[in-house]
Structure 1
Amino acid sequence: MEVTNTTKTIYKKRFWAGVLLAQFLLFYAFSKSETMIDFFERFFELQKKIHQLLFSWIPFSFGDLTYILLGIFLLYCVILCFKKKSRPKALLKILITINIFYFIYQIVWGMLYFQTPILKKLSSQKEPEIAKAKTLALLYLEKCKNTRASVREDRNGIFIITDLKSIQSEILRQQGQLPKYISNKEAPQINTFKPSLFKSVMNFTGILGYYNPFTAEAQYNAELPHTMIPFTSAHESSHQLGFAKEQEANFVGYLIGINAKNLDLKYSTEYFTLKSLLRFIVEEDPAFVKSVLNQYSPAMKRDRLYERSFTFRHQGWLDDFFRFTNNLFLKSNQQEGAVTYSYFIDLLLNYEK
């Protein structure tokens, strides 16, 4: 009887391993078909409002709780794998779990990485020019100075958010104001911004926020410097709209924040844009970047120093590990590496023509 059960388990493992391989091949084939990509885009539009409504009322991140429970379950299965008697069934459970989550992920999110790039929707598609980037950097330097003078700061002179809910409401409002030639995606106007339950760990990973495709929640690290939180929220809300690629989400986040009436969101967006431009320029002209940094207002210099001290305090092997794994994930989904901003700059310069 025991031999029969063992044989059945072996066949089941082979079956689920085969299903997983079949899924890899099937979704790879789908990624090459414009018809199928269009189908998944339309499906996302149909399901995203329902998806967000299901979890928006929960006061904490249900997606994070799901990840915790999943992690505990998988860890338990891994421990069982060290016991010869329970190993076959434990491996079977792991295979079934991977199959289920991989299928759901691809259906509700994974295929969106292959939709038509935003760059193709812009009338001009020129290569980014350093001269134009410099002009924009000087423009956004002045914008940052002006906006920074109108926002609040703490007793140490560091920028501080006064009303996070109003920022989130403004982001949702601006989602409906995006140019139609760039986005025809529906904006459900449902607040599913959630502080991550993993914020203490995130401090050491370099991850500012993330979108949970299984619950449609937009997570952000509540312990970030406040200069980062509004734009990070706008970025994650862009994923909620259906923009999967990281630098496209940055660009849509830019469109959401740059015209915002909320000054906290506006400053965070302008500051992110300025930093991105300077990172793009620095390899070609470090002297120019140094000159711009010297022209920061005293308040902006305090914000920059605080950001740098936050990053320095949380550097370590965990940051390097997550940077490496995130880089692999991005490249596996037809994106540039984690530290590359050139596609965002492509979009920005083509838009700001």
Structure 2
Amino acid sequence: MNTTKTYKKKRFWAGILLAQFLLFYTFSKVQIVVSFFENLFEFQKKIHQLLFAWIPFSFGDVLYILLGILLIYLIIKLFKKKTRSNVLFKILIILNTAYFTYQIFWGMLYFQTPIISKLPKTEVTLEIRKTLALEYLKKSKATRKLVKEDKNGVFVIKDLNTIQQEILNQQKTLPTFINQKESTTTNSFKPSLFGKTMSFTGILGYYNPFTAEAQFNAELPASYLLFTLSHESSHQLGFAREQEANFIGYLIGIHSKNPGLRYSTEYFTLKSLLNSIVNEDENFVKTALENYSAEMKRDRLNEKKFVTEHQGFLNEFFGFTNNLFLKSNQQEGSITYSYFIELLVRYKRINQ
């Protein structure tokens, strides 16, 4: 009798999970429903930041750790015949709860109106990208002279909290025709508890949709870190797509009065442009790299050193799985910057 009841419960929760997949897939095709979830996000992010921002460590990471321990415990119990049936039932409940919560708080934002539809159409030619690359090379060289260095002449950050506050302030200056989302004054940037592991994954930061915390890897070189903070801040605003978060991060940092944040943004933009050019004109990219200032070359070597020291299986595994995740959410994947570059080119056309 108990076996029959347990079987029916498992079948019920499996059916609920399937129904959720179908329901949220249908929701993603209906713009008025997607708009509802956008408005819901504006409400829930305030509540989440009120609840979790004051905690001095990443509460979202603690939740992930506890969930991981629970799942490991349940998986171990799966190998015991007496408890297997009940364990499957519990796992289905956890999956249903986690999936529903994720979609309500974050997942549906991947289907909001793309930023690109708000920008004028233009052809993204190789020559335009080359011109922009030279522009941002010049900007990067100039701004790099204004930032602080360590004893090895590498760009460093002396006051991270000031830059985090600057990012929040710059959210308020975003063009209204691109961003109608509410900025916040609440600092909810948190160094990830998984920082040392993250260094081996290629993941620079991530947004926690369950706590509205922007996690970052505190071990990153400064040239990576500051733009990463802008990027994760863009997720906190409600921009789910990775390349759109890059673009909003660009808008946050490019006009900043803080030279460190501005340099990190200009340098990221330059690297993105060169990355989009290299397969079409490798010599141009080589020449651009040779024309880096001595200071920029030191930063580039520092980045390469960081990457080399943290290469391995985890880097390849997370790069592969992240690429699949991005594509499953109607994004281009992590191996290309073309969408960010197209947004950049279209935006620059407005300001010509």
- Give TM class, smaller chain: over 0.9
Corresponding residue number in structure 1 for 2:37: 40
Corresponding residue number in structure 2 for 1:11: 8
Corresponding residue number in structure 2 for 1:25: 22
What do residues 197-253 of structure 1 show as CA deviations (whole Å, max 9, x unaligned)?
001110110000000000000000000111111100000000000000000000000
Distance 1:227 1:140 in 2: 15
Gaps of 5+ in 1: none
Corresponding residue number in structure 2 for 1:344: 340
Shift of 1:127: 3.5
Shift of 1:126: 2.1
The alignment of Structure 1 onto Structure 2 pairs a total of residues equal to 349
SS state at 1:340 partner: coil
Q: Does 1:144 align with 2:136?
A: no
Shift of 1:48: 1.5
Q: Does 1:131 align with 2:127?
A: yes
What do residues 12-65 of structure 1 show as CA deviations (whole Å, max 9, x unaligned)?
111100000000000000001011111111111122111211100000000000
Counterpart residue identity of residue 337, structure 1: G
Map 1:1-353 to 2 at 5 A: 4-122=1-119, 124-353=120-349
What do residues 105-133 of structure 1 show as CA deviations (whole Å, max 9, x unaligned)?
000100000000000001x1224211111
Shift of 1:75: 0.4
Task: Provide TM-score, normalisation by structure 1.
Answer: 0.98
Counterpart residue identity of residue 74, structure 1: L
Percent identical:
66
SS state at 1:227 partner: helix
Distance 1:342 1:76 in 2: 43
Counterpart residue identity of residue 31, structure 2: E
Distance 2:333 2:183 in 1: 29
Counterpart residue identity of residue 226, structure 2: P
How large is the Cα RMSD of the aligned pairs? 0.7
Q: 1:64–1:196: 8 Å Cα contact kept in structure 2? A: yes
Distance 2:32 2:147 in 1: 47
Distance 2:50 2:43 in 1: 13
Distance 1:267 1:106 in 2: 35
Gaps of 5+ in 2: none
